[in-house]
Amino acid sequence: MKTRIIAAVFALAALAGCDHNPFAAPEGLVGTWQSDTWTATFPIPSGATPGTMREFWSLAPAGTYSRHTEFWTAAGAAYTTYVETGTWGTEGDELVLTALMAAENPQPLSAQPLEPRLIKPRVMRSVYAVAGTELTLSPPCSGYAICDGPSRVLHRVLEN
């Protein structure tokens, strides 16, 4: 409980110091998003096993976000491999995330819930485009720069 209060105060302080305004972020970004699945192999307590992974994002209207990655074995066991929370906003066509808390599941993977801890704030930028129920995030590139990494496509999770 004490950690959550400290995290909330830290997040509010970070928002006050940001030069982007998360509260003016386009409404089309607010919501829950997920990636397509991809195959991966992770060591688990009973040995290395292939499975599938998926990334989940939540962008809240108040300018906070969370994202996590899950791994499912062929036998149906589920593991959370990474958790991150922080603040978000936009600057022009860029989505700006400031990670404030994170946790990574050590290998072999444990079924224990991950408890994010305060980290040195880390700012990540992506050029974004929303088309229908898809959100595409691409590395920002300028001029003749070589861009790092491929684009990531997330799909809106529709509420029932």
Each residue's pLDDT tens digit, 46-82: 788 899 999 999 999 999 999 999 999 988 889 999 9
Distance from C-alpha of 15 to C-alpha of 21, rounded to nearest angstrom: 8
Residue 115 pLDDT: 93
**Per-residue model confidence (pLDDT) at position 126:** 94
- What is the domain extent for residue 24? 2-156
Q: How many domains does the chain have?
A: 1
Residue where the block lists tokens 């030069």: 19
The pTM of this model reads: 0.80
* Position 97 confidence tier, pLDDT thresholds 50, 70, 90: very high
Tell me, what CATH number does 115's domain have?
2.40.128
